[in-house]
Amino acid sequence: MPVKNRFAELLPEITAWRQDIHENPEILFDTFRTSAMVEEKLKEFGCDEVVAGLGRTGVVGVIKGKATGSGKVLGLRADMDALPILEETGVDYASKTPGAMHACGHDGHTAMLLGAAKYLAETRNFDGTVVVIFQPAEEGGGGGREMCADGLMEKFGIQEVYGLHNWPGIPVGTFAIRPGPTMAATDEFTIVIKGKGGHGAKPHRAIDPVLAASHVVVALQSIVSRTTDPIDAVVVSVTSFQSSSTAYNVIPDTVELRGTMRTLTPENRKMTEEKIKSIPVSIAAAMGAEAQVTYHSNYPPTINAPEQTEFAAGVARMVAGDCAEAEITMGGEDFSYMLEERPGAYIFMGNGDSADVHHPKYNFNDEAIPAGCSWWAGIVEQRMPAA
């Protein structure tokens, strides 16, 4: 099953959808125009059911095969939202919304899944039901969590779920995937160190929160270097260090630290959280200061189920001739919420030699559309083959 001829025929139409979405980016849950377009297209394709407003602005389409005796129900998910970035691509269809752009390829993901939905609704050459899921707010809003909280899996009887993301640096038309942890949990922390301000020339009369905070920054690195198993991937990054003073000769009353923590397993996530909460308190107390830690648990790790990963890789090999082993990335992805509820797999698709995602010069490569659509269609037709 190489790239399907039908998607070569549909390429100009799907490309037009993609570029229209690119020109009109919408952030987080405010995907009103994109969601309306998706809803309209799914109805036009003849989906058996179209539901809007799931997870605030998510859209779901249901397509039944020629037969449904297998009882199988697969979910296919694409994200729709853009990023708060000023575009610098210079393309004719560049963003018309200043300060917003599709810098991660969600425009391509949405267009490809629409293309696959059109084909599947035309052919219905499978035994079962496919649920196409168009999700808002992947970029930090937790749209996947919101759709699951609204009963996505239960309402549509989804048994397995599959996701796809374009990836710069992988040749167009190729794929990469790995079983188990593939993307990281993305947690955040804020640490406020409270001391006693004073004159910079009289530090003995103050309790210096800058010194205490500096020790905290260094000590937090011991979580990775001295607490974590060396073969496990954990990241602790302090990314902001701000004091309440802007003068050269004033010791401030407070210092605020902010940062991010990335882990690949629930065990390391729990351990690292406990350390981030306890280390600042102990160090500050030892120096006569106080520490308050605010910890925010964000997206969980993206963990591919072994069976579904091997199946997804097999479909990729049928489309592209091969499927590479993906590298682990410490970036986050809220498809992880769906994988917590149902077994499934998340695959990377080549975007060629483009700028990296989240860069103002990034652009989705429309030449990748036939391969991506063919993989989506193959997931359905190979997992639920018609008799």
Instruction: Specify the pLDDT at position 312.
Output: 98
Instruction: Specify the pLDDT at position 387.
Output: 82
Mark the ranges of the chain whose per-residue pLDDT is less than 50: none
Q: What is the pLDDT of residues 261-294, one digit of tens each?
A: 999 999 999 999 999 999 999 999 999 999 999 9
Please give the model's pTM, rounded to 2 decimal places: 0.94
Task: Provide DSSP, 227-272.
Answer: IS-TTS-EEEEEEEEEES--STTEE-SEEEEEEEEEESSHHHHHHH
The set of residues, in sequence order, having a beta carbon less than 8 Å from that of 99 and lying 6+ positions away, is: 84, 85, 86
Q: Note whether 154 and 193 are same-domain residues.
A: no
Nearest of 81, 305, 358 to residue 182 by alpha carbon: 305
**Counting beta carbons within 10 angstroms of the beta carbon of residue 12, is it exposed (0 to 12), middle (13 to 18) or buried (19 or more)?**
exposed
Q: Tell me, what CATH number does 212's domain have?
A: 3.30.70.360
Q: Note whether 47 and 124 are same-domain residues.
A: yes
Q: Is 326 helix (H, G, I), strand (E, B) or coil?
A: coil
Is 224:234 a contact under the CB 8 Å cutoff? yes
**CA torsion angle 84 86 92 96 (round to 10):** 60
Q: Note whether 286 and 306 are same-domain residues.
A: no
Q: Among 299, 330, 346, identify where a domain stops.
A: 299
Instruction: Specify the pLDDT at position 2.
Output: 77
How many angstroms separate the CA atoms of 78 and 56, rounded?
16
Q: What is the pLDDT of residues 112-140, one digit of tens each?
A: 999 999 999 999 999 999 999 999 999 99
Q: List for the chain the helix, strand, coil content (%; round to 5).
A: 35, 30, 35
Q: Note whether 21 and 160 are same-domain residues.
A: yes
Q: Among 299, 332, 355, identify where a domain stops.
A: 299
Number of domains within the chain: 2
Domain residue limits at 55? 5-181+301-383
Q: Note whether 165 and 243 are same-domain residues.
A: no
Q: Tell me, what CATH number does 18's domain have?
A: 3.40.630.10
Instruction: Specify the pLDDT at position 3.
Output: 81
Q: Note whether 177 and 219 are same-domain residues.
A: no
Instruction: Specify the pLDDT at position 1.
Output: 56
Q: Among 299, 331, 349, identify where a domain stops.
A: 299
How many angstroms separate the CA atoms of 382 and 312, rounded?
10
Instruction: Specify the pLDDT at position 361.
Output: 98
83 DSSP β-pair partners: 101
Residue 231 has a CB neighbour count (10 Å cut-off) of 5
Centroid of chain to Cα 345: 13
151 DSSP β-pair partners: none
Q: Note whether 247 and 373 are same-domain residues.
A: no
Q: Note whether 307 and 174 are same-domain residues.
A: yes
Q: Note whether 136 and 67 are same-domain residues.
A: yes
- What is the amino acid identity at position 25? P
Q: Note whether 214 and 340 are same-domain residues.
A: no
Q: Note whether 278 and 346 are same-domain residues.
A: no
Q: Note whether 19 and 160 are same-domain residues.
A: yes
Q: Which residue's structure tokens are 């060629």? A: 352
